Amino acid sequence: MILLLEPTGGAAGDMFLAAALDLGVSRDELVHHLSSLKVPGWKLLVTKAERHGINGTHVDVVVDGDPAHRAPEHHHDHDHDHAHQHVTDSGHHPHGHRHLSDIRALISASTLPGRAKERALEVFACIGAAESKIHNVPVDEIAFHEVGAVDSIIDICGAAVVLELLGNPEVFATPPPLGSGTIHIAHGVVPVPVPATLEILRGVPVLFEGKGELTTPTGAALLRTFARIGPLPACTVDRIGYGIGTKDWPDRANVLRASLAHHAADEATSVYVIEANLDDCSPQILGALLDTLMKQGALDAWVVPATMKKGRPGHLLSVMTTVETHRALTNTVLAESTSLGIRSHRAERTVLARRHEEVATPWGKVRIKVGYEGTTVVNAAPEFEDCRAVAEAAKVPLKQVLTAAMSAWQKV
């Protein structure tokens, strides 16, 4: 299953939650999981709304004691969606702020389901890294205003929970429009897109269009962390939801469309091929990496010798993955090899239907893997591990077992 995100009117944390609820995610179940965060004084206000003729769901995180959050119509911009680095001359944060380290501890102590906790921490790490670079301060000195922190925690952790409730789909997103102009935040007037948004989305496709702030830092971080941004894959759409933003933009519908889909039938044989050129990686590491990749679900993985630039000997590492395992195995290659980057492309493979047939050899039974098209058998081969186990137990050469197995199958 895949989740397609189309941020026509931009992206923000509340719009992501709204689109998911419009898809059919249970509000009560979402709130139940978020309550494990032990963040008091908030509630999720869910209403129906319309922008440019498109009806959908609007969400507002209402925080106790904040007049701007008492009703959606009083919430004009996404100012609450910005992390505000704020440090006194002594280097300490004033009262009324939450450090990123505090938020990480809060999430870690929660009982968010499945991978939600890990995903939420990844999003906050993404925002923290951007703010740290922009303000030139350590990540742990980044702080959110108290009310803004509550909004951000609920938006981000809620988005992570939503992916669990949707069955952990693979997420794709079209390039988000960033907007233009200026906006007033805690630091004063800054350009749109605000520095954090642009930093978070550096290196991925974006659109410099629209007036006002269309994509917020939280929205940018959710897209950057959860989705592959670019062209959407061929698929069959099953369900559609619209998350409605607060502003009513004059030139576009302020909506985030989310579609649950599955890969089209002709995509059933689609795979990804991941490749990396390596000229500084130990053969021992490569051998261990191949084993790891296969255990993690690679369809195949291999290494071939290559002559690199300046005549240096090296290796070409290739991994064939399913669409579902592509992202995880990409991360494994980057983490476990010495590569600083990889490339990947989609490929189509033709796969024969398969079945196993058991045959008896003089030393024991083994399985034959049979490949066929329609009713015609195209290929057959003994299962190597079955034959090796039988050969070791009987203390006979492996090649004898392989030959006997094929002979027995051909006589059937």
Show me where the domains of the chain are located: 2-265, 269-348, 353-411
pLDDT at 253 over 60: yes
For residues 396 and 260, what is the distance between their CA atoms, to the nearest angstrom?
55
More confident position, 111 or 92 = 111
For residues 32 and 18, what is the distance between their CA atoms, to the nearest angstrom?
16
Residue 88 confidence (pLDDT): 30
pLDDT at 65 over 80: no
Closest alpha carbon to 155 in 101, 48, 82, 75: 82
- Topology (CATH level 3) of domain 269-348: Alpha-Beta Plaits (3.30.70)
| Angle value at C-alpha 247, between 242 and 251, nearest 5 degrees | 85
Per the listing, tokens 């895949």 go with: 2
Query: How long a stretch of residues is the chain?
Result: 412
Per-residue pLDDT of 395-404, as tens digits, reads: 999 999 999 9
For residues 296 and 394, what is the distance between their CA atoms, to the nearest angstrom?
32
Closest alpha carbon to 234 in 278, 257, 197, 266: 266
* Amino acid at site 118: E
Closest alpha carbon to 243 in 109, 403, 54, 42: 54
Range from 128-137, 332-341, 351-360 carrying the lowest mean pLDDT: 351-360
pLDDT at 147 over 70: no
In CATH, the number for domain 353-411 is: 3.10.20.300
What single-letter DSSP state applies at residue 266? G
Dig out the tokens for 83 from the structure.
């992390």
**pLDDT > 90: what percent of the chain?**
63
| Angle value at C-alpha 325, between 5 and 388, nearest 5 degrees | 165
Return mean pLDDT, the chain: 86
**pLDDT > 70: what percent of the chain?**
89
Residue 64 confidence (pLDDT): 79
With a CB cutoff of 8 Å and minimum separation 6, the contacts of 385 are none
Closest alpha carbon to 216 in 147, 155, 161: 155
pLDDT at 381 over 70: yes
Span 91-118, mean pLDDT? 78
- Is the previous residue joined to 177 through a cis bond, with omega within 30 degrees of 0? no
Question: Is pTM beyond 0.85 here?
Answer: no
pLDDT at 264 over 70: no
> Which band of pLDDT confidence, cut at 50, 70 and 90, is reported for residue 359?
very high
pLDDT at 240 over 80: yes
